[in-house]
Amino acid sequence: MPAGFSQALLVAIIAGFGTALLSGFLTPGTMQAALLSLIAPTPLFIVAFGWHPYAGALAGLSAALIVQAAAGTPPALAIAALFSLPVFGLTWLSEARFSPLSGRPDRDGIEVGRLVLILISYLAMAFVVTGLFIEPDFAALQQRIRRSVEAVFTLIGMPGGGPSLPSGDMARIFDLMAAIIMPLSALITLVTLMASAAIGLFVADRSRRLDFVKPDLRRFRLPGGTLILLGLALFASMRDGYVGLFGSIMALGLLFALILQGLAVVHVRTIGMDSRAFMLTAIWAALIVFGLPALIFLVIGMIDHITDFRRGRL
């Protein structure tokens, strides 16, 4: 067996175990597990970027098998569908798009934007297909989710929401949570994958194992027509059933991507400022702690999508 293959196989198995452990399926019910699950795909991305996308796929397969042995088939399918397949797809497409040097780095931003758009579309389809598999009738799926939410409240000692809220108000809260839990889960998955991809790309590049020049993420911008697509997604989100679910996930993903584009504008426009490090740290801290500034960066991202605030700055 060639030494390179043996090394890739060993690293893939270790990465698979790391992802299985970070996913929280092996240690459920702890706050640490919930936090670490936000970087669970990182070992897979490191292997896929640093060795080969097929090594990343093998790592994803080993993660799914470990989770299947420890927690059962449904969590293993979640690992495969939400981590393993996106990791392989994103790294394979990245290698294909960024290996040719012609047009780079000018086309880096739009290529990364296309990858993000593909990922958002994939997650929307994945969650819709999962819902259809669990319960073809969307109303019945909502009721199942609502019962699960009620069971969680009962488990933590708040049957019916506790004495502080009237039963009617609590029923509305349960209905709201049942309506938003799948779109919100898709958004968290999107954030998890994008953060893990950025970390994996950075580690592979610093380790000098990346087969292509790392794209300049400050150039990130979504493809033309994204605002039209966002409008269509928002319109679809107002429909009932799985069409509404698909539209909601697409709309949330596109809004998040536009926020990132707004942040990329700030990173570029502050180049050369003496207080740049302090300013960017304060912006990210305010965004993470308070969340409300996201609306500002959303507007900046939308305007930049039309006018290109970064022209001539890079």
Domain boundaries, the chain: 123-194+216-314
Task: Report the distance separating Cα 255 and Cα 250, nearest Å.
Answer: 9
* Residue 32 pLDDT greater than 80, yes or no: no
Query: Could you tell me how far CA 216 lies from the centroid of its own chain?
Result: 19
Task: Report the distance separating Cα 44 and Cα 200, nearest Å.
Answer: 8
Give residues with Cβ within 8 angstroms of 179, minimum separation 6: 142
List pLDDT tens digits, range 227-237: 999 999 999 99
Evaluate the CA torsion angle 239, 243, 247, 248 in order and state its sign. positive
Longest CA pairwise span in the chain (Å):
68
Q: Residue 301: what pLDDT?
A: 93
Task: Report the distance separating Cα 298 and Cα 256, nearest Å.
Answer: 8
Mean residue pLDDT of the chain comes to 88
pLDDT-wise least confident of 125-139, 169-183, 242-256, 272-286: 169-183
Contact 186, 124 (CB under 8 A): yes
* Residue 1 pLDDT greater than 50, yes or no: no
